[in-house]
Amino acid sequence: MDLEVVEQVAELGAWVADGGVVILSGAGLSTDSGIPDYRGPSGSARRSTPMTYQTFTRDPIARRRYWARSHLGWRTIGEARPNDGHRAVAELQRRGLVGGIITQNVDGLHQAAGAGDVVELHGNLARITCLDCGDLTPREHLAARLDAANPAFDAAAIAINADGDAELDDTDLDGFLVVDCDSCGGMLKPDVVYFGETVPPQRVERSFALVEDARTLLVLGSSLTVMSGRRFVLRAVKEGIRVAIVNRGVTRGEPYAGLHVDAPLGIVLPNIVDALSTVSPAKTGV
């Protein structure tokens, strides 16, 4: 890290040491776990249009294509493991310096690293919901059923997106069979928020409550391009809560941030943990 970044990290460490930190995380936090983001330096350019709820529910062909891509993408997402950034966040929470975590990610890696009080704004790919009976089942169960229904499916992904949707050649999608709910025969869907859906109000309300009780809103790995995450930054500014951002590259939150550290999360966050190794866990504030 160059001198300017070292000084920024030291200042951010002082903010974290005050306690009362709420995390807002995006896809950039999971890139070191092998999950690419959309817009950062390690991101993959999405070539296909993101699935909308309306298309998924109304178009059987589009739904089949989605499940073929998602089934392949799950092999990457499902095998991903927390990285140093996730572990650092969990450690700061264990010490009482970080309270709640708001994540835009659907990979479950915060919890896998040991973090608690995580608001999953957009859901979690590890869960499958039935749109008819509401039954929730593990993704591993569906993956096994899809493998059994498609024994010859051996497509290779061109790229994997952060939402677990793989990019495939159209010829690899032919003949893929979709399975329905084991309980009622209804339509299955990953328990995530698609384009065209809204984030459940209780998640939004819980997130706003976390932000309003914070001393610092710390944004990790998000370009804040969409309002789904940026609204929490705007609320923090409105409430006079300081905002810090650690992200590779430009973000739409820069005009609102008291600190913007453009450096790898897997270096910055463990550095802060190490620097605060003597901080008392009694300092919380959230």
181 is in an annotated binding site: yes
Contact 138, 124 (CB under 8 A): no
Chain centroid offset of residue 108 CA: 7
In the numeric block, the tokens 């919890």 are attached to 111
Q: Is 133 annotated as a binding residue?
A: yes
Please state, in angstroms and as integers, the Cα–Cα distance from residue 169 to each residue in 60, 190, 276, following that order.
19, 22, 49
Least Cα distance to 65 among 152, 176, 181 occurs for 176
Q: Show which residues are catalytic.
A: 122
3-state secondary structure the chain: CCHHHHHHHHHHHHHHHCCCEEEEECHHHHHHHCCCCCCCCCCCCCCCCCCEHHHHHHCHHHHHHHHHHHHHHHHHHCCCCCCHHHHHHHHHHHCCCEEEEEECCCCCHHHHCCCCCEEECCEEEEEEEECCCCCEEEHHHHHHHHHHHCCCCCCCCCEECCCCCEECCHHHCCCCCCCCCCCCCCCEEEEECCECCCCCHHHHHHHHHHHHCCCEEEEECCCCCCHHHHHHHHHHHHCCCEEEEECCCCCCCHHHCCEEECCCHHHHHHHHHHHCCCCCCCCCCC
CB-CB contact of 253 with 68 (8 Å)? no
List binding-site positions.
130, 133, 181, 184
List binding-site positions for Zn(2+).
130, 133, 181, 184
